[in-house]
Amino acid sequence: MINPTQQKLFSAVQVGPFHLSHRVVMAPLTRLRSEQPGDVPSDLMAEYYGQRASKGGLIIAEATAISITGRGYLGAPGIYSDEQIAGWRKVTDAVHAKDGRIFLQLWHVGRQSHVDMTGGVAPVAPSVVPYEGVAYTSNGWVPVSPHRGLQIEEIPGIVEEYRHAAERALAAGFDGVELHSANGYLLDQFLQDGSNKRTDAYGGSVENRARFLLEATEAIVSVWGGNRVGVRLAPSGRWASMSDSNPEATFSYVAEQLNRFGLAYLHIIEPRVKGSEVTEDGLPPVASEHLRKIFHGKIIAAGGFEPSDAEAIVEAGDADLVAFGRHFISNPDLPRRIRLGLPLNAYDRTTFYGGDHRGYTDYPFYQEAKDASSTQVKPSRSNNAEGQQSSIGPVGNLRNHDLSVAH
Ligand SMILES: Cc1cc2nc3c(=O)[nH]c(=O)nc-3n(C[C@H](O)[C@H](O)[C@H](O)COP(=O)(O)O)c2cc1C
């Protein structure tokens, strides 16, 4: 076990105006448990985030729709109505009560949607490119609806939606916002040339493909100031049929351009995960290492990290913080467990999306776990907890659904 006093993961770090006391970040995790109708954050969500808050720790709250047309998954929360502000206030209060910090991830799904989620209109995208994905509606997982390409005159309206969502996030008591430009959602669809076939000012060259992301960043920075805004990217991400003919050029340009905003951080998903599955490539964390040389601010690395290689990447200086997704689902006290080298609870994939408190707020803290049948996750990337039985029974309306969806 690493001596806690020597762990760089548990050394202080400044992120924007925040003095964090450790570097174990909770990754944004869609769990589809908001109140319906209305996409309102629930009391159960406040309990869940409160459990995972830690003194001086950073949580990035789940992907949250900026508008009705930006929705794609029934049960995901929104930040487009006043009622949602009140719901989120309970979440931010619960995190602040434990001296934690919380950013909200702003989300427009673009083509990854269905008319039942968008208020009856066709999902929007940079271009019409055949795409076979799924959306989650009141009829369960369904194939996405045919999308349409955005008219150039419509883009400023979506930038304004990002700005208004950022204002509501401020009113809800968040500490900052993260722009979701990863995992094949709208901004990522514009960035990568597999999905962007436009011939106007938003397509073609990398400068044009990055324009929408940079305009959206500017809009939310106008509300928050740059040092309370983060951006999430998935360089070479293949989730949701994404592809780019030159990802190194595309993402290097984006990282370089983002320098001008003085952001709180750049959040980078390693290409070794596809959605929420670790791929067979066995890649080391290459994306953070590369963009570290280009981006001048703090870097959060994410995707397939175990405690030991999280320590290694901050030790090597290729990232400043590490975000954990699946381990945070099943370990409400993950920072403490990592710091003390305690065993981790296994996660139960069947309760990731939708359902009630089971597989959500009933994962045990370590003290409680001592007598329960907590399963230790082996500290190897190839040997994660997939398929392991946890003490949590499979519940929820998405039970047994075997698609891996990452928002
Ligand atoms: C249940 C689930 C929901 C997710 N939801 C989001 C999300 O809302 N926004 C996002 O950017 N990524 C989302 N992801 C991706 C995670 O943030 C993270 O990048 C991924 O799980 C890889 O990290 P890990 O290996 O630590 O789990 C989700 C992943 C899972 C498993």
Q: Which residue has the tokens 């955005």?
A: 150
The ligand 1 atom at the shortest distance from the C-alpha of residue 326 is: 27
Mean pLDDT of the chain: 90
pLDDT tens-digit map of 201-226 = 999 999 999 999 999 999 999 999 99
Minimal-distance CA residue to ligand 1 atom 29: 406
Give the active site residue among 80, 162, 185, 347: 185
The whole-angstrom separation of Cα 389 and Cα 374 is 10
Q: How confident is the model at residue 276 (pLDDT cuts 50, 70, 90)?
A: confident
Q: How confident is the model at residue 286, as a pLDDT?
A: 85
Q: Note whether residue 119 is domain-resident.
A: yes
Per cent of the chain over pLDDT 90 is: 84
Task: Compute and round to an integer the Cα radius of gyration of the chain.
Answer: 20
Within a domain: 396 = no
Alpha-carbon distance 179 to 233, whole Å? 9
**How many residues appear in the chain?**
407
Q: Please, are residues 286 and 321 in contact by the beta-carbon 8 Å criterion?
A: no
Spatial distance between the Cα atoms of 190 and 250, rounded to a whole number of angstroms? 11
Residue 57 half-sphere exposure toward CB, CA atoms < 13 A: 28
Phi, psi of 83 (to 5 degrees): -60, -35
Residue 407 domain-assigned (yes or no): no
Domain-embedded: residue 192 = yes
Token readout for 86 is: 């009140």
Give 202-254 as a DSSP string: TSSSHHHHTHHHHHHHHHHHHHH-GGGEEEEE-TT--GGG---S-HHHHHHHH
Whether residue 382 is predicted with pLDDT greater than 60 in this model: the reply is no
In a domain, 357, yes or no: yes
Helix (H) or strand (E) holding 158: helix 155-171
Give the mutation target among 34, 39, 276, 331 for probing the ligand 1 site: most ligand atoms within 8 A of CB: 276
User: Does ligand 1 lie within 6 Å of residue 401's CB atom?
Assistant: no
Q: How confident is the model at residue 108 (pLDDT cuts 50, 70, 90)?
A: very high
Dihedrals phi, psi of 140, to nearest 5 degrees: 85, -155
* Nearest residue (CA) to ligand 1, atom 2: 29
User: How many Å apart are CA 333 and CA 362, to the nearest integer?
Assistant: 12
388 found inside a domain: no
Distance from C-alpha of 327 to C-alpha of 324, rounded to nearest angstrom: 6
Which pair of structure tokens corresponds to residue 26?
Answer: 């909770």
The CATH number of the domain holding residue 190 is 3.20.20.70
Kindly report the number of other CB atoms within 10 A of residue 82's CB atom. 9
Give residue 274's pLDDT.
Answer: 81
In this structure, how many other beta carbons lie within 10 angstroms of the beta carbon of residue 252?
A: 18
Residue 182 near ligand 1, beta carbon < 6 Å: yes
Name the band, by pLDDT with cuts 50, 70 and 90, for residue 386. very low
Burial of 96 (0-12, 13-18, 19+ CB in 10 A): middle
- 176 in Cβ contact with 159 (< 8 Å): no
CA distance linking residue 103 with residue 264, whole number of Å: 11
Tokens of 60: 């990035």
Supply the residue whose CA is at minimum distance from atom 22 of ligand 1: 303
Atom of ligand 1 nearest to the CA of 269: 19
Which pLDDT score is estimated for 377?
A: 46
| Residue 2 CA, ligand 1 centroid: distance in Å | 27
Q: What is the pLDDT of residue 396?
A: 27
Reduced DSSP (H G I as helix, E B as strand, rest coil) percent helix, strand, coil of the chain, to 5: 35, 15, 50
> From CA 230, how far away is CA 15, in angstroms rounded?
10
CB distance 80 to ligand 1 below 6 Å: no
Q: Is the CB of 62 under 6 A from ligand 1?
A: yes
Range of the domain at 75: 4-383
Residue 2 is predicted with a pLDDT of 52
- To the query of whether residue 360 is one of the catalytic residues in this protein, the response is no
SS3 404: coil
- Asked if residue 77 has its Cβ within 6 Å of ligand 1, the reply is no
Is residue 256 assigned to a domain? Answer: yes
- Please report the beta strands in 121-211, taking only residues with DSSP state E, as ranges in sequence order: 124-125, 134-137, 140-143, 148-149, 176-181
Q: How many domains does the chain have?
A: 1
Reported as a single tens digit per residue, the pLDDT across 131-173 is: 999 999 999 999 999 999 999 999 999 999 999 999 999 999 9
> Is residue 399 domain-resident?
no
